[in-house]
Chain A
Amino acid sequence: MSEPERDEHSGVETTGHVWDGIRELDNPLPRWWLWIFYGCIVVAIVYWVLMPAWPGLNGYTPGLLKQSDRAAVAQDLQALQAQRGRGEAMLATASLQQIEADPALQAHALSVGQSVVGDNCATCHGAGGGGNRGYPNLRDDVWLWGGSLEEIEHTLRVGVRSAHPETRTSQMPAFGRENMLTAAQVSDLTEYVVRLSGRPANAAAVGRAQQLYADNCAACHTPTGVGDRLVGAPNLTDREWLYGSDRESIRGQIHNGRNGVMPTWEGRFSPGVIKALAVYIHVNAGGGEASGAAAVAP
Chain B
Amino acid sequence: MTIIIDRSRDRSKATGPVSIAEKQREKDRPQGLYKARVPIYPKLVHGQWRWIKWVLLIVMLAIYYITPWIRWDRPGALPDQAVLVDFDGGRFYFFMIQLWPQEVYFITGLLVLSALSLFLVTSLFGRLWCGYACPQTVWTDLYIYVERMFEGDRNARMRLDAAPTSFNKLWRKAGKHAVWIGVAFGTGGAWIFYFHDAPQLIRTFWVGTAPMTAYVSCAILTFTTYVFAGHMREQVCTYMCPWPRIQGAMLDDQSFQVTYRYDRGEPRGPHKKAESWDGRGDCIDCNQCIVVCPMGIDIRDGAQLECINCGLCIDACNEVMEKVGRPRGLIAYDTDAAVAARSCGQKPQHRLIRPRTLYYGVALLIVSGLMIWGFSTRKTLDVHALRDRNPASVRLHDGAVRNGYTLKIANHGFQTATVEIRYGGVPGATLRSPGRPESDPLTLQVDPNRVTSVRVFVTAPASEEADGSRPATFDVRSGDERQTVRTAFEYGELR
Contacts and interface: CB of A to CB of B under 8 A. Distances in A.
B35 A140 contact: no
B390 A127 contact: yes
Nearest to A284: B404
A91 B432 CA distance: 27
Interface in B383-418: 388-391, 394-399, 402, 404
A13 B25 CA distance: 11
B397 A286 contact: no
A30 B36 CA distance: 6
A249 to B, nearest CB: 9
B34 A12 contact: no
Contacts of A295: 397
B397 A133 contact: no
Interface residues of B, number: 37
Contacts of B389: 128
Most buried by B among A9, A11, A33, A238: A11
Contacts of B394: 130, 137, 139-140
Nearest to B391: A130
A31 B388 CA distance: 62
A271 interface: no
Contact of A139 (B28, B29, B391): B391
Given A28-B28, A240-B396, A286 B404 contact: yes
A143 to B, nearest CB: 9
A32 interface: yes
Nearest to A8: B8
Contacts of A240: 395-397, 495
B160 to A, nearest CB: 22
Nearest to A110: B455
B437 interface: no
Given A8-B8, A28-B28, A239 B494 contact: yes
Given A128-B388, A240-B395, A240-B397, A10 B7 contact: yes
Most buried by B among A133, A140, A284: A140
A291 B397 CA distance: 8
Contacts of A26: 31
A244 B396 contact: no
Given A126-B390, A127-B390, A287-B434, A235 B397 contact: yes
Most buried by B among A131, A240, A292: A240
- Chain B interface SS verdict (over half): loop
A39 to B, nearest CB: 12
A30 B37 contact: yes
B481 interface: no
Contacts of A130: 390-391, 394
B8 A140 contact: no
Contact of B495 (A127, A244, A284): A244
A283 B399 contact: no
B462 interface: yes
Question: Which of under 10, 10 to 19, 20 to 34, or 35 or more describes the interface residues of A?
Answer: 35 or more
B434 A283 contact: yes
A233 B35 CA distance: 91
Contacts of A31: 34-37
Interface string B445-461: 00000000001010000
A9 B7 contact: yes
Contacts of A11: 7-8, 25, 29
A140 B396 contact: yes
Contacts of A291: 396-398
B454 to A, nearest CB: 12
A141 B33 contact: no
Given A9-B7, A128-B390, A129-B391, A239 B34 contact: no
B25 A10 contact: yes
B448 to A, nearest CB: 17
B435 interface: yes
B239 interface: yes
A9 B4 contact: yes
Contacts of A139: 391, 394, 404
Given A100-B435, A286-B434, A286-B457, A30 B35 contact: yes
Q: Which 5 A-B pairs give the minimum distances between C-beta atoms?
A: A130-B391, A128-B390, A238-B397, A239-B399, A28-B35
Interface of A: 8-13, 26-34, 100-101, 126-131, 133, 137, 139-142, 235, 238-241, 244-245, 283-284, 286-287, 291-293, 295-296
8 contacts: A32-B235, A126-B391, A131-B391, A140-B395, A235-B397, A239-B398, A245-B494, A286-B402
